[in-house]
């Protein structure tokens, strides 16, 4: 660019863009409002938008409900008039990232199914309006091709530019460059600096050159070179080589993770991989004891592991790994877990008065899968704690069932991971840095890749917390919030499939972190927490001991009794008989879906054992709702009081936890009472010191108190008394109390006799 100065000469200068405004990078769209009936006023936006949030569509549904769609959420506001509020029906506030599927039922009903098992039903006056809102929602829930189009980037840019408000500035932050890796090495007493160390930190994967789904630094035995790691990685699926993630500080047993070996039908082997597993077992060997075996925990069943050999996978052959013992956990794969979750969501959306509700819950096999995961974690924890043997955990690829088992075992063995900061470190290492595919599992374009693996693990943590309510620093609200924000797209913590992708897109600095938001939230702290550093949590993993995560899947109880049966209400409104008992008899309705033109519902008799079938179908049929969900049923989850204020940080409704709310109230009352006692103690101390000052000055105390319970001497020459109070406070060492108190009643005070002597310019008090 050429510029001319005053002398007429020209010079070439280089201009660079110093700042791009958020309004230019993420512009807000104009509001489009549907035409309202002449008898109604135009609707208003029912919530306060967050930074960078813009409401794009606003309209009305049936029964005078208000619908609002922004670039962050879908909001359904129930009318304040009518019987719905009296029956406890509340507003629905759903982030767009949580929406998994949208269906149209019977022309006028739009049903929204969420990834956290919630279900929302919208009723419209016309079919055209229903189709229009269906198209709007279908368009905005499609996964963006560019990750920077996610709302988390716009939220961050606008919040930074607007300087945030006080709540946002105190509750939001970045993941930053927290070097938890070295802190964990030091905390677990893993020596990597000395010459005779058993372990070392390898940088063979620096800049993700070896494995894109592994962290930069790997903890391996010191006798294993980088060349051996590279050769062993070629023998493991996706090059996910065995590495150490945790060590028992008491007995020295270690916990490692990897993916399946690529044995294949021909029985391939790798000497480098065999040496690596042998070195892992020897790294925790005690010279005074017998040699230890490496216990390999395979999350699959033995038939599934053998069947994987047809696709180039398999399991460790005992003849090639003589120092290893293999144990199979028989856990369901992602396809069975996805089908189980869809059946659970279908059940939670059904009427609450079904007489066989628990039988249908058993048919979903969801609690059975939770029990299996906890049993596998118990096995790992017992092997390390009691048998004192090193453990290696893997499944097929090592990024689904493997982090579930490893992180649960660490949670049971190490009390640090049960704190708020420790839980963050646990999720960061085992789930984020070791490459769980959050993008594919939650918002992937391929339905076969979707599966609520992380939600299932949080459900396991919830069951552990239910059996040990005082062992965790965070509350159940913490887990619910974490489950919601896993897919809400408000934070960048769980975007992308690996740390390499997050680093390449700059998510760490261009979005906010969910961890600071949860740590700063008062409702996420467990007031029953009792720190026990060396306590190991043992879980009763029987199916009968499992609890359904009601706070997430079903929601709290609605306010007020329900005097009319939901089936009678719904049938009277729709003019249809028997449609509310659809899980018992279904008429196979036609449903429009974003994933296909038509969907059929699944009958209960079609439900089969999830462990008997290892299919790759998308299971979309089973995910469809089998019933019309009436608003009058009171099944709008996460309900709260009608006039409840949304959270100023994430824009969601606050969760209800009566136990924690009562504990917070008791803590506040205790602090108030303590402050009152301290104030009364301070006043009493001043009164006593004034009496001592009076006696030192030769003033006789009278026994006639005033209305405040103070004697005449206490009210004589107040200024002089204050000056003497300072002297008495600093110099009175021993005070003798007389038998005759001053004053009467509850405010009577004893008379103190103090004799002052002036020695060397210093006032002293003695008996």
Helix (H) or strand (E) holding 263: none
For residues 97, 214, 274 and 403, what is the CA-based torsion angle, rounded to 10 degrees? -40
396 annotated to bind ligand: yes
pLDDT score of 750 more than 60:
no
722 annotated to bind ligand: no
The answer to whether the 22-142 and 180-554 domains have the same CATH topology is: no
Averaged pLDDT, 442-468? 92
**Residues whose CB falls within 8 Å of the CB of residue 300, separated by 6 or more in sequence, listed in order:** 308, 315, 328, 329, 330, 331, 333, 395, 396, 401
Q: What is the pLDDT of residue 439?
A: 93
330 annotated to bind ligand: no
Q: How many residues does the chain have?
A: 767
400 annotated to bind ligand: yes
Percent of the chain surpassing pLDDT 90:
48
Instruction: Please give the DSSP secondary-structure letter assigned to residue 577.
Output: S
Q: What is the pLDDT of residue 145?
A: 85
Q: What is the pLDDT of residue 485?
A: 94
Cα 745 from chain centroid?
Answer: 57
Class of 22-142 in CATH: mainly beta
How many other CB atoms sit within 10 Å of the CB of residue 32? 12
Q: What is the pLDDT of residue 692?
A: 84
Q: What is the C-alpha to C-alpha distance for residues 437 and 161, in angstroms, rounded to an integer?
A: 32
SS3 of residue 11 by DSSP:
strand
* For the chain, domain boundaries: 22-142, 180-554
Averaged pLDDT, 302-325? 92
The pTM of the full predicted model, rounded to 2 decimals, is: 0.77
395 annotated to bind ligand: yes
**Active-site residue flag, 395:** yes
pLDDT of 629-659, one tens digit each?
333 333 333 333 334 577 777 777 767 677 7
Residue 451 tokens read as: 């599966």
Q: What is the mean pLDDT of the chain?
A: 78
pLDDT of 157-208, one tens digit each?
898 887 655 666 677 888 765 688 999 999 999 988 887 889 999 999 999 9
CB burial string 74-91: b at 16+ within 10 A, e below: bbbbbeeeeebeebbbbb
- Smallest CA-to-CA distance from 623 within 588, 599, 592 is with 599
- Smallest CA-to-CA distance from 52 within 512, 505, 497, 481 is with 512
401 annotated to bind ligand: yes
Residue 217 tokens read as: 């630094």
133 annotated to bind ligand: no
451 annotated to bind ligand: no
Of 315, 395, 524, 541, the active-site residue reads: 395
With bands split at pLDDT 50, 70 and 90, how would you rate the model's confidence at 290? confident
CATH dotted code for 180-554 = 3.90.190.10
pLDDT of 590-624, one tens digit each?
333 333 333 333 333 333 343 444 444 444 444 33
* HSE value, Cβ hemisphere, 13 Å, CA-based, for 397: 14
With bands split at pLDDT 50, 70 and 90, how would you rate the model's confidence at 746? very low
Could you tell me if 335 and 614 are in contact, meaning their C-beta atoms sit under 8 angstroms apart? Answer: yes
pLDDT score of 756 more than 50:
no
What's the Cα-to-Cα distance from 574 to each of 108, 112, 123, 569, rounded to whole Å?
Answer: 11, 19, 11, 9
Q: What is the pLDDT of residue 292?
A: 85
């Amino acid at each position: 660019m050429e510029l001319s100065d005053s002398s007429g000469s020209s010079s070439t200068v280089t201009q660079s863009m110093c700042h791009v405004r958020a309004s230019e990078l993420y512009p807000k769209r104009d509001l489009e409002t549907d035409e309202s009936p002449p008898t109604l006023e135009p609707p208003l936006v029912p919530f306060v938008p967050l930074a960078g949030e813009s409401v794009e569509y606003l309209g009305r549904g049936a029964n005078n409900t208000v619908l609002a769609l922004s670039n962050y959420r879908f909001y359904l506001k129930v009318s304040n008039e009518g019987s719905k509020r009296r029956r406890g029906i509340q507003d629905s506030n759903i982030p767009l990232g949580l929406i998994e599927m949208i269906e149209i039922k019977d022309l006028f009903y739009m049903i929204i199914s969420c990834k956290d098992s919630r279900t929302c039903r919208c009723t419209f006056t016309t079919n055209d309006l229903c189709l229009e809102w269906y198209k709007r929602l279908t368009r905005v829930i499609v996964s963006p091709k560019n990750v920077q189009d996610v709302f988390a980037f716009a939220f961050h840019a606008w919040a930074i530019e607007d300087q945030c408000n006080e709540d946002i500035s105190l509750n939001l932050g970045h993941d930053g460059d927290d070097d938890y890796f070295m802190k964990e090495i030091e905390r677990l007493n893993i020596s990597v600096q000395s010459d005779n160390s058993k372990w070392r930190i390898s940088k063979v994967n620096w800049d993700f050159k070896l494995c894109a789904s592994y962290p930069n630094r790997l903890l391996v035995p010191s006798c294993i070179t980088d060349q051996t790691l590279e050769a062993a990685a070629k023998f493991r699926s996706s090059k996910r080589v065995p590495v150490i993630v945790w060590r028992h500080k008491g007995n020295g047993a270690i916990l490692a993770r990897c993916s399946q070996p690529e044995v294949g039908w021909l029985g391939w082997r790798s000497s480098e991989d065999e040496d690596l597993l042998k070195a892992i077992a020897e790294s925790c060997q005690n010279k005074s004891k017998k040699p230890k075996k490496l216990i390999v925990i395979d999350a699959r069943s033995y038939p599934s592991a053998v069947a994987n050999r047809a696709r180039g996978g398999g399991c460790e052959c005992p003849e090639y790994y003589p120092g290893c013992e293999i144990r199979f956990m028989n856990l369901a794969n992602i396809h069975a877990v996805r089908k189980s979750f869809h059946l659970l969501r279908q059940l939670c959306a059904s009427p609450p008065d079904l007489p066989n509700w628990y039988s249908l819950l058993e048919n979903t096999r969801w609690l059975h899968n939770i029990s299996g995961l906890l049993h596998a974690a118990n096995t790992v924890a017992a092997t390390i704690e009691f048998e004192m043997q090193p453990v290696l955990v893997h499944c097929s690829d090592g990024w689904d069932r493997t982090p579930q088992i490893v992180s649960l075992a660490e949670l049971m063995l190490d009390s640090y991971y049960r704190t708020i900061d420790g839980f963050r470190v646990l999720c960061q290492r085992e789930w984020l840095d070791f490459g769980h595919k959050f993008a594919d599992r939650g918002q992937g374009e391929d339905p076969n890749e979707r599966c609520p693996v992380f939600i299932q693990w949080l459900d396991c943590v919830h069951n552990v917390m239910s059996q040990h309510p005082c062992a965790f620093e965070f509350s159940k609200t913490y887990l619910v919030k974490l489950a919601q924000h896993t897919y809400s797209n408000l934070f960048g913590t769980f975007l992308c499939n690996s740390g390499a992708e997050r680093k390449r897109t700059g998510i760490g600095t261009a979005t906010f972190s969910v961890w600071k938001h949860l740590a700063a939230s008062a409702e996420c702290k467990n007031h029953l927490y009792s720190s026990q550093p060396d306590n190991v949590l043992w879980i009763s993993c029987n199916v009968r001991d499992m609890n359904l995560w009601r706070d997430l899947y079903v929601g709290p109880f609605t306010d007020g009794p329900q005097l009319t049966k939901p089936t009678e209400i719904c049938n009277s409104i729709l003019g249809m008989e028997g449609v509310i008992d659809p899980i018992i008899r279904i008429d196979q309705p036609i449903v429009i879906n974003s994933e296909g033109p038509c969907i059929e519902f699944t009958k209960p008799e079609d439900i089969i054992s999830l462990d008997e079938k290892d299919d790759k179908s998308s299971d979309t049929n089973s995910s469809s709702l089998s019933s019309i969900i009436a608003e009058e049923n009171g099944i709008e989850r996460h309900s709260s009081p009608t006039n409840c204020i949304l959270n100023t940080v994430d824009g969601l409704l606050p969760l209800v936890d009566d136990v924690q709310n009562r504990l917070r109230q008791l803590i506040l009352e205790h602090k108030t009472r303590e402050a009152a006692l301290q104030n009364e103690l301070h006043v009493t101390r001043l009164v006593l010191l004034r009496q001592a000052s009076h006696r030192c000055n030769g003033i006789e105390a009278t026994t006639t108190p005033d209305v405040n319970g103070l004697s005449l001497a206490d009210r004589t020459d107040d200024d002089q008394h204050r000056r003497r109070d300072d002297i008495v406070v600093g110099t009175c060492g021993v005070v003798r109390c007389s038998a005759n108190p001053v004053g009467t009643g509850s405010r009577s005070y004893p008379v103190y006799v103090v004799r002052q002597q002036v020695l060397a310019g210093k006032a002293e008090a003695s008996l």
